[in-house]
């Protein structure tokens, strides 16, 4: 009886969290269904050539981005694996983790500052070829930005799987005098082959749902993905019927990809924990050394380029004036408030789900997990099927019936960002909670500690650090997000990414560059703190 009572609080918390997520997703789909029922003819008519072309472009650019990211990533990862003592290797790997933490709009701006027609690269090109640099609006810009994000990610993931090759095999290959090619074929490829579908699937998913990059670098209807088209249908066209058709296709598409990924057993989060490189008996030839060094340097140049451009362009901006501007202050404050609230909400929801899952696991003993337990387990990852823009679009259409949609901006941003960051927070906090629970569960029962007292005295000390990591992570994610705010943003509620988008729009590139640098520092700072806290477990 006491045991049951002890679980009840945790179950209620999890139930409430699941209900909250259900409400968020359900509300979005209700909005879509409501409008679809009211204007089903319009929605049906929107399944036209435009929809087909947008879908085709979405898949096409995602496919190309995947090939261009993963292909070179294999080579670079291999080069790094075969040179465990490459000069600056640690630094390069650290640098390759940065794009993951960088807000997409900052990266887009960095890519533009470097490769745009008036970017740093253009005069160089003009001087060497005599021709005018054609610029990068459209497909080329989208591809460059996607590769900038995903080449380092894929490299780290490939490297992580290469690092699982036992040292014996490397030694054996050296003893047998295997050359680079033979060693690739017999040692490296079998390992890579197993992990490649998952890596490629993840990159494809990220590119197929990319919003900010396509919005800022697409350059027009010729290069529009489903997500951008949904945004445009609502904000440009005031055409909910078209938005519904696009949303249905988007959900079907991401649903298929996520299912396929689950089949492949791939991680949908995409981070690699790289072990310290083991001692390896590797004796690459001189030719291979040169080739590998070139590969690594090229990749380094490609990844570091836009980052450097962001810093240089940012420092060239009138930072003093920007720092004194009221809109900048307000956007910073709004961003911080919304991101903090989103992070708090994210922790609450994640914590509730984690506790419920654990409580259910304890209660069932060895039986098969029930529905609620499975929902509180993998249910968290399910939200990734429904992109933020889709949730935003559904609510946007629903809220049209209740007056000024823009007034709901803060609530929408907080809720959607909290839920989007949840899978990551769950992954950080759950191991710590489950471990603490395994240690203390019996003791708590024996002493009759439960509810709030138990949380405060027993669980919290063990959770403090992972919770802080989750908080910093969720906050960074929310700070840099330009999804829901693109739909709901207005002059009244502006976050830093939204202000950045506005400044880009009103040809104040220098301002945009300055804000981008500021935003990048904020997000990277938070990620750095999260990383530090995560590592130094005491």
Partner 1 sequence: MRTTTTIPVVAFGLFAAALPAAAQDTLTVYTYESFTTEWGPGPAIEEAFEAECDCDLEFVSVADGVALLNRVRLEGENTEADIVLGLDTNLINDARETGLFAPHGISLDNIDVPGGFEDEIFVPFDYGYFAFVYDTEAIDTPPESLTELVEAGSELGIAIQDPRTSTPGLGLLLWIKAVFGEDAADAWSELRDNVVAVTPGWSESYGLFTRGEVPMVLSYTTSPAYHRIDEDTDRYRAAAFSEGHYLQIEVAGRTVKGQDNALAGEFLTFMTGPGFQDVIPETNWMFPAGRTSEPLNPAFDDLVEPAETLLFSPEEVAENRNAWVDEWLSIMSQ
Residues forming contacts to partner 1 in the complex (CB under 8 A) are 48-50, 53-54, 57, 116-118, 135, 137, 219-222, 224, 232, 235-238, 333-334, 337, 340-341, 344, 400, 403-407, 410, 490-493, 502, 504-509
Of 89 and 508, nearer to partner 1 (C-beta) is: 508
Min. distance of Cβ 138 from partner 1 in angstroms?
Answer: 8
Residue 240 CB partners (closer than 8 Å, separation 6+): 35, 39, 233, 234, 397, 400
User: Using CA atoms, how far apart are residues 474 and 339, in angstroms rounded to an integer?
Assistant: 8
Q: Residues near 338 by Cβ (< 8 Å), separated by ≥ 6?
A: 410, 413, 414, 417, 478, 495
Q: Which is nearer to partner 1, 171 or 235 (CB)?
A: 235
CA distance 96 to 94: 5
Nearer residue to partner 1 within complex by CB, 272 or 405:
405
CA quadruple 507, 509, 510, 512: dihedral positive or negative?
Answer: positive
Locate 201 and state its tokens.
């699937």
Give the angle subtended at the CA of 169 by the CAs of 168 and 170, to the nearest 5°. Answer: 95
Structural contact between residues 261 and 201, judged by C-beta atoms closer than 8 angstroms: yes
C-alpha 314/C-alpha 248 separation (Å) is: 39
**Angstrom distance (rounded) from CA 218 to CA 228:** 9
Task: State the Cα–Cα distance between residues 256 and 51, nearest whole angstrom.
Answer: 18
Q: Which is nearer to partner 1, 365 or 403 (CB)?
A: 403
Do 10 and 356 contact (CB within 8 A), yes or no?
A: yes
Name the residue nearer to partner 1 (CB basis): 261 or 397. 397
Q: Give the DSSP per-residue string, 276-323.
A: PPPP------HHHHHHHHHHHHHHHHHHHHHHHHHHHHHHHS-HHHHH
Task: Output the smallest distance, CB 235 to partner 1, in A.
Answer: 7
In whole angstroms, the minimum distance from the beta carbon of 338 to partner 1 comes to 8
The least distance separating partner 1 from the CB of residue 238, rounded to whole angstroms, comes to 4
Smallest gap from residue 217 Cβ to partner 1 (A): 10
What would the two tokens of residue 91 be?
């630094």
Alpha-carbon distance of 422 to 378, in angstroms, equals 11
Between residues 153 and 342, which has the closer beta carbon with respect to partner 1?
Answer: 342
- Closest approach of Cβ 49 to partner 1, in Å? 5
By beta-carbon proximity to partner 1, the closer residue of 318 and 491 is: 491
Nearer to partner 1, 189 or 455 (CB): 455
Please report how close the Cβ of residue 313 comes to partner 1 at its closest, in angstroms: 12
The nearest distance, CB 323 to partner 1, in angstroms, is: 17
């Amino acid at each position: 009886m006491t045991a049951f009572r002890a679980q009840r609080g945790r179950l209620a918390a999890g139930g409430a969290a699941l209900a909250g997520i259900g409400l968020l997703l359900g509300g979005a789909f209700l909005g879509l269904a409501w409008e679809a029922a009211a204007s089903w003819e319009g929605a049906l008519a929107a399944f036209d050539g435009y929809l087909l072309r947008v879908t085709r472009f979405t898949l096409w650019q995602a496919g190309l981005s995947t090939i261009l990211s993963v292909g070179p990533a294999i080579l670079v990862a291999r080069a790094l694996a075969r040179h465990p003592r490459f000069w600056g290797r640690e630094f390069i790997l650290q640098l390759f983790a940065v794009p993951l933490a960088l807000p997409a709009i900052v990266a887009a701006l960095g890519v533009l500052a470097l490769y745009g027609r008036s970017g740093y690269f253009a005069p160089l090109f003009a001087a060497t070829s005599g021709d005018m640099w054609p610029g990068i609006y459209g497909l080329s810009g989208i591809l460059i930005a996607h590769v900038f994000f995903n080449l380092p990610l894929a490299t780290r993931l490939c490297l992580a799987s290469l690092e699982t090759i036992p040292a014996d095999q490397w030694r054996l290959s050296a003893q047998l005098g295997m050359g680079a090619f033979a060693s690739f074929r017999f040692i490296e490829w079998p390992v890579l082959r197993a992990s490649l579908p998952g890596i490629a699937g993840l990159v494809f998913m990220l590119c197929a749902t990319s919003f900010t990059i396509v919005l800022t670098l697409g350059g027009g209807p010729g290069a529009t993905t489903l997500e951008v088209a949904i945004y445009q249908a609502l904000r440009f066209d005031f055409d909910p019927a078209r938005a519904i058709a696009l949303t249905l296709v988007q959900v079907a598409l991401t649903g298929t990809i996520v299912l396929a990924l689950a089949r492949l057993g791939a991680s949908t989060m995409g981070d690699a924990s790289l072990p310290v490189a083991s001692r390896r008996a590797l004796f690459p030839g001189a030719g291979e050394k040169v080739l590998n060094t070139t590969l690594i340097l090229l990749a380094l140049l490609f990844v570091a380029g836009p980052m450097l451009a962001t810093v240089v362009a940012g420092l060239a901006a009138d930072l003093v004036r920007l720092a004194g501007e009221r809109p900048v202050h307000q956007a910073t404050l709004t961003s911080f408030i919304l991101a903090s609230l989103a992070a708090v909400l994210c922790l609450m929801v994640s914590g509730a789900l984690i506790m419920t899952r654990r409580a259910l696991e304890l209660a069932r003993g060895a039986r098969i997990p029930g529905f609620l337990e499975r929902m509180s387990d993998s249910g968290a990852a399910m939200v990734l099927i429904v992109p933020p823009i889709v949730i935003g679009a559904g609510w946007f259409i629903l809220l049209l019936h209740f007056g000024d949609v823009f007034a709901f901006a803060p609530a929408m941003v907080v809720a959607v960002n909290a839920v989007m960051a949840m899978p990551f927070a769950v992954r950080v906090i759950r191991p710590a909670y489950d471990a603490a629970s395994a240690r203390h569960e019996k003791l708590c029962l024996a002493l009759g500690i439960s509810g709030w007292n138990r949380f405060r005295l027993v669980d919290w000390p063990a959770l403090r650090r992972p919770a802080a990591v989750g908080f910093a992570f969720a906050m960074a994610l929310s700070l840099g997000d330009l999804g829901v705010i693109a739909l709901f943003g207005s002059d009244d509620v502006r976050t830093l990414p939204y202000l950045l988008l506005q400044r880009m729009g009103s040809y104040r590139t220098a301002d945009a560059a300055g804000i981008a640098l500021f935003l990048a520092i904020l997000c990277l700072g938070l990620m750095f703190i999260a990383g530090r806290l995560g590592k130094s477990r005491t």
